[in-house]
Amino acid sequence: MNHLLCWINQNAAGLTAIFTFLYLIATILIFNEARKSADASKTSAGAATEAVKAAQSSASAASESATLMRQQIEEQAIRCEIAVRSGIDVALKTTEVWRARTGDFANMNNLKSLPPTDNLVLPRTVVESLALIDIQMAMKLSAALNEMGLARDVIESTRNVENKSGMNIGHFQRAGHEADKYLDAAAERLHEVSLFLGKQKG
């Protein structure tokens, strides 16, 4: 035991140097581990920040896309409504003009002097446009256009028939009444659709 104490006393300086060196090594190792942990935390935090930024960017893009789509839908609805209003105005004026003429059929020798009936046929695109706004009103408009087409058929089927001296007055009277019936029915439906669009605008 005395020998050990003597040896320690003799080598105290060396032992102190060794312990100091080991303590330094341990401190360096602990510092390196702490730095690695800090770096990992920093990297993790950076990744989380990037993920948040990406999510925010995606949400912003989705919001912009939804806004653009809503604008396009609203603009399309406005264009459709304008097209429908214009088509209905034309149809109402057309039925009014022809209803004033059909009452005189019995007093005419023939219908060759009447203008073409092409304006009694409106494009079906106006019905398709209205269907994007209201399907029930689109069905009414379609029925009105059908009635106008039937009136045209009656007029055209009588155009080349002669009525000199009233020889076919009965045929002309029936044609006039039938055309009137179809035009009245068309006008009634057209007014319903026009009234609906007026409420929509209000």
Q: Is the pTM of this model over 0.75?
A: no
Domain range holding 178? Answer: 80-201
Q: Contact, 156 vs 116, CB < 8 A?
A: no
Does any domain span residue 112? yes
| Three-state SS at 14 | helix
36-74 tens-digit pLDDT? 765 666 676 666 677 777 767 776 676 777 777 777 767
Structure tokens, 43: 């990297």
For residue 123, the model assigns a pLDDT of 87
Structure tokens, 179: 């055309």
Does any domain span residue 64? no
How many domains does the chain fold into? 1
Which amino acid, 44? S
Q: Count other Cβ atoms within 10 Å, centred on residue 45.
A: 10
Does any domain span residue 32? no
Calculate the average pLDDT of the chain.
80
Residues in the chain: 202
84-128 tens-digit pLDDT? 899 999 999 999 999 988 878 877 777 778 888 999 998 889 999
